[in-house]
Amino acid sequence: MVSGGKNAALAILPAALLGDSPSVIENVPDIDDVHIIVDIMEYLGAKVDFADNIMTVDPLGVDKFNPPYELAGKMRASYYFAPVLLGMFKRAQVPLPGGCDIGNRPIDQTIKGMEALGARAETLGGVLECEAEELIGADIFLEMPSVGATVNSMLTAVSASGTTCIHNAAKEPHIVDLANFLSSMGASVKGAGTDVIRIRGGRHLHGANYTVVPDQIETGTLMIAAAATGGDVVITGAIPTHMEALSAKLLEMGVHVSSEDDRIHVRSNRNFRAVNVKTQGYPGFPTDLQQPLSALLTVANGTSIVTETIFESRFRFLEELRKMGANSRVIETTAIITGVERLVGARVNATDLRAGASLVIAALMAEGVTEISGVGYIMRGYERFDEKLRSLGASIQHISEE
Ligand code: UD1
């Protein structure tokens, strides 16, 4: 059973502060990144209740516009509070994003979007500082379809009077989910899921009851894990149309994939064909699934060429996979992976969230025991990952880092 979307929840929860009454949000994944968001919301003055994946956010007590570095610096998505607090208080100070070190992660497009709507925004001493006497809707032209800049532009636009058009917007399922949540709060958001999002801002927003979309990346990770183990697995609670780029690649590799309603059936005999993959924004092949798929390609028949167009440092985990016997070479943004007959267990280190998941997938395929350190990354983004893999028959134990 797939959990609620991490990247959707991380955008929706800060947005809930914009309502004048509590929101009840269901299917919120119980992961460390969500706990950080809760800590930030409570610091700002919100009342939050979180149990059984249902979160109630009461924003009425919010009276601060500057979450501290100790909280906000822990994760990339904390900068989603900046446009929210800017809309509420006309100013916001948010320490700059931390998060996974997967390459250069500038925020120039977020700043550009805020400035287009009349704000002054700059980074000073590691803090994103924004101010606006008045936010006024305008055209925002993003230089690339950045997820973060699209979220921040949407969250600024709902507080701006008049119409904002975000051009070259990201189209990921979590963008559509944020748009649906904002609409259920009373906002007018049209076109999410296409290149142009049109928002009529300045409306009065209220709390909403909402259910977070299933996690696209967790679904994909489980599909790849199922293929890796040569299993016959049905993944439930998924949205198969979000998985088309991955399903197509798995079919090309010789994995059986079919779907019906919210179920995806994956069956493999562990005899994989090599394929070429290039990461792209949705509906292209997601960069977040590049590492898990690359892990699978290390045992495919033949040579695969994987091109990473979004985050340049996302091949570092291949060095860890080499310790397990994988054969790969990286030339700038391209990895050439030649399949080997078998991987062997080793001591390896997760360097980021999806790298961690990929090492687990490699460990499932390897002979012998693999010990993975840095699993804190996995806990940030996957709910009950070890438990779900055990239900697929994996022998996996989470031992504390200490
Ligand atoms: C989000 C996801 C992350 C996913 C990524 C791409 C969240 C919390 N994280 O990250 O899991 O891997 O989308 O799908 O949702 N860029 C700029 N300037 C900017 C913003 C981005 O140059 O102002 C570049 C980045 O360097 C990168 C590309 O645009 O090369 C895409 O980044 P972006 O979509 O913004 O990723 P995140 O929002 O950080």
Contact 326, 351 (CB under 8 A): no
pLDDT of residue 99: 53
What average pLDDT does this structure show over 331-357?
95
Considering the domain architecture, whether residues 142 and 36 belong to the same structural domain is answered as yes
In DSSP terms, 338 is beta-bridged to 303, 327
Q: How many CB atoms are closer than 10 A to CB 401? A: 9
pLDDT of residue 401: 59
Taking the centre of ligand 1 as the mean of its atom positions, its distance from the CA of residue 148, in whole angstroms, is 6
Considering the domain architecture, whether residues 46 and 195 belong to the same structural domain is answered as yes
Considering the domain architecture, whether residues 320 and 299 belong to the same structural domain is answered as yes
Mutate to test the pocket of ligand 1, among 36, 146, 150, 213 (most ligand atoms within 8 A of CB): 146
121 — phi, psi (to 5°)?
A: -140, 130
Give the 3-state DSSP-derived string for 192-208, with helices as H, strands as E and coil as C: ECECEEEEEECCCCCCC
End residue of a domain, out of 211, 243, 274: 211
End residue of a domain, out of 211, 240, 271: 211
In DSSP terms, 313 is beta-bridged to none
Record the pTM: 0.96
CATH number assigned to the domain comprising residue 315: 3.65.10.10
pLDDT of 2 above 70: yes
Is 253 touching ligand 1 by the criterion CB < 6 Å? no
Q: Confidence band (pLDDT; 50, 70, 90) for 98? A: low
Considering the domain architecture, whether residues 200 and 245 belong to the same structural domain is answered as no
Higher local confidence (pLDDT), 385 or 394: 385
Q: What is the pLDDT of residues 290-302, one digit of tens each?
A: 999 999 999 999 9
Considering the domain architecture, whether residues 164 and 268 belong to the same structural domain is answered as no
Considering the domain architecture, whether residues 26 and 124 belong to the same structural domain is answered as yes
Report how far Cα 288 is from the mean position of its chain's Cα atoms: 7
b/e 84-116 (16+ beta carbons within 10 angstroms → b): bbbbbebbbbbbbbbbbebbebebebbbbbbbb
pLDDT of residue 100: 53
Q: Alpha carbon of 122 to those of 69, 225, 255, 330: distances in Å?
A: 17, 42, 48, 36
What is the spatial distance between Cα 185 and Cα 55, in angstroms, rounded to a whole number? Answer: 16
Q: What is the pLDDT of residues 40-73, one digit of tens each?
A: 999 999 999 999 999 999 999 999 999 999 999 8
What is the spatial distance between Cα 385 and Cα 393, in angstroms, rounded to a whole number? Answer: 13
389 — phi, psi (to 5°)?
A: -70, -35
Ligand 1 atom with the smallest distance to the CA of 110 is: 23
Q: How many CB atoms are closer than 10 A to CB 402? A: 3
Considering the domain architecture, whether residues 331 and 382 belong to the same structural domain is answered as yes
How many domains would you assign to the chain?
Answer: 2
pLDDT of residue 22: 98
pLDDT of residue 395: 87
**What tokens were used for 111?**
């700043």
Domain carrying residue 102: 6-211
Q: How many CA atoms lie within 13 A of 254 on its CB side?
A: 15
End residue of a domain, out of 211, 241, 265: 211
Q: At residue 11, what is the residue type?
A: A
**Domain for residue 400, yes or no?**
no
Ligand 1 atom with the smallest distance to the CA of 77 is: 8
Considering the domain architecture, whether residues 35 and 157 belong to the same structural domain is answered as yes
What average pLDDT does this structure show over 7-33?
97
pLDDT of 398 above 90: no
Q: What is the pLDDT of residues 117-156, one digit of tens each?
A: 999 999 888 899 999 999 999 999 999 999 999 999 999 9
Considering the domain architecture, whether residues 147 and 273 belong to the same structural domain is answered as no
Q: Confidence band (pLDDT; 50, 70, 90) for 400? A: confident
Higher local confidence (pLDDT), 277 or 105: 277
Considering the domain architecture, whether residues 206 and 318 belong to the same structural domain is answered as no
